[in-house]
Amino acid sequence: MKPDVSVIMYVKNGMPYFKRALQSVIHQTLYNIEILVIDGGSTDGTLEYTRQCQSADPRICILRSSQGSVGAQFNLGVEHAQGEYIGIVESDDYILPEMYEEEVACAKDCGCDVLRADNFIFFTNGDKEVRLQTRVSHKKGNYNRILCAGREPENVLIGGSFWTGIYRREFLVEKNIRMNETSGAAYQDFGFLFLTGALAESTYIIPRAFYCYRKDNPQSSCNQPARLDMPVQEYRFLEKELKKRGIWEQYKEYFFLWKIRNERWFYFNLDKAMKERYVHVLYEDLREMTKNSFSCALLNDKERTFLEIANRGEEELCEYLRQKVKGWTESAEKIEIQNADIIYLFGAGNIGRIFYYFLQNDQSRKNIRNGVTAAYVDNSPELWGVELDGVPVVTPREAFEAPNAFFIVCSENYADEIYIQIKAAGVPDCNIAVCDDMDSCIRLVMGRKA
């Protein structure tokens, strides 16, 4: 019987996390799946454990890859897959039991090429596992309807990661969509995610979360990149693919926006020493980017400033980025010592929800009262009055009228504009903290430095 889903699990020395990942796939409520474990040369017992599981479960197929590349491992999995849909589970994550049953049912019902879903981030805090839901799209209207970037190009920017859903296998085969096979274990999904969004005739997003993405693995490739030019190489691959397929002009403005945001994100997720080394790579790439004929119309103030400073010189860029890191450190300190009657989380998106958990549950910082009153505020009228975490989202005007209020700007893309808006309302700078990076926010919640 043809499997409903071929679940690709690429791994190299994935113990001890891989046990949980594999067991979460084995115990899916949808039994009609095949599990393709592509081993990249494990020497830590991963392969032996997989063979033990295979002896008890014939749905498991083990493939070996010697190329040392996640992209090559994933592509090998697609070549061998027999399922109607392709799913991906990374070796240190896990999925909820009903994930594929619900996603396949929805994908078949709407006949989509690509189905995406929200996801959870998780980490351990002491002896407790913390699991927080994050949204794949900030726009409520993008959920539960067919999207097509060919008709609405902005939909190619819908975020999330490529493992949040499933892909119709024939769509990937017909469009010849594969991962870049650069060496290493990170960032090859940037191009894949953009291409599937651009080429799918139908993408559907459901407001459910099933995939649990680990944020506290110190050996993660995101935390320890093999090379500092990995994002640059990935976007060269993507640009080549878009031009080869004749859709470069249609998507180049979104390509540059996506590229700027991700390369900036890459910088802020490096440790201090790597940040200093990466600035030169980033500077050269940004300078090369400005030679291209794109309008910058899609860029926000922060992104425009980023490019302008890069044009002034490498030292200016380096100092600008150092000040951004310093600004986040100062904001974290403000949050720790504030003594307001109410804290407004300006931005009811992923960062705001992570901070809400932090304010309600963190007891390790003596100056943050456990159970402090917090509320969301947002500029989107569609969110006003809506409850998140049991708390209504209020209007900016209502928040600005509150006495002794502290504001945390919680926005990755519009933090600069929101900060100016709050200052214009007369709020003193000592009562404003800015967080424009979700991973820095998560590190604060986990008790780690930016």
Cross-sheet strand order for the sheet of 342-346: 387-388, 391-394, 374-377, 342-346, 405-410, 432-435
CB neighbour list of residue 351: distance below 8 Å, 6 or more residues apart: 410, 411, 412, 435, 436, 438, 441
Q: What angle do CA 5, 6, 9 make, to 5 degrees?
A: 130
Per-residue pLDDT tens, the chain, 450 aa: give them. Answer: 899 999 999 999 999 999 999 999 999 999 999 999 999 999 999 999 999 999 999 999 999 987 768 889 999 999 999 999 999 999 999 999 999 999 999 999 999 999 999 999 998 877 888 888 888 988 888 999 999 998 998 888 887 788 989 999 999 999 999 999 877 656 788 899 999 999 999 999 999 999 999 988 766 666 567 678 888 899 999 999 999 999 999 999 999 999 998 898 889 888 888 999 999 999 999 988 888 878 888 988 888 899 999 999 999 999 999 998 898 888 888 887 777 889 999 998 889 988 888 887 764 444 445 556 789 999 999 889 988 878 889 999 999 999 989 999 999 888 989 999 999 999 999 999 998 888 888 877 776 544
pTM: predicted TM-score of the whole model, two decimal places: 0.89
128-134 and 33-39 as β-strands: parallel, antiparallel, unpaired? unpaired
Task: Please state, as a whole number, how many other Cβ atoms lie within 10 Å of the Cβ of residue 104.
Answer: 21
Residue 448's identity, in one-letter code, is R
Looking at residue 449, its pLDDT comes to 47
Token pair recorded at residue 137: 């799209």
Token pair recorded at residue 95: 């999925």
- Rounded to whole angstroms, the Cα distance separating 134 from 160 reads 9
Looking at residue 271, its pLDDT comes to 85
- Rounded to whole angstroms, the Cα distance separating 358 from 354 reads 6
Backbone angles phi, psi at 98, to 5 degrees: -90, 5
Backbone angles phi, psi at 425, to 5 degrees: -80, 0
What is the DSSP secondary structure assignment for residue 185, as one 8-state letter? S
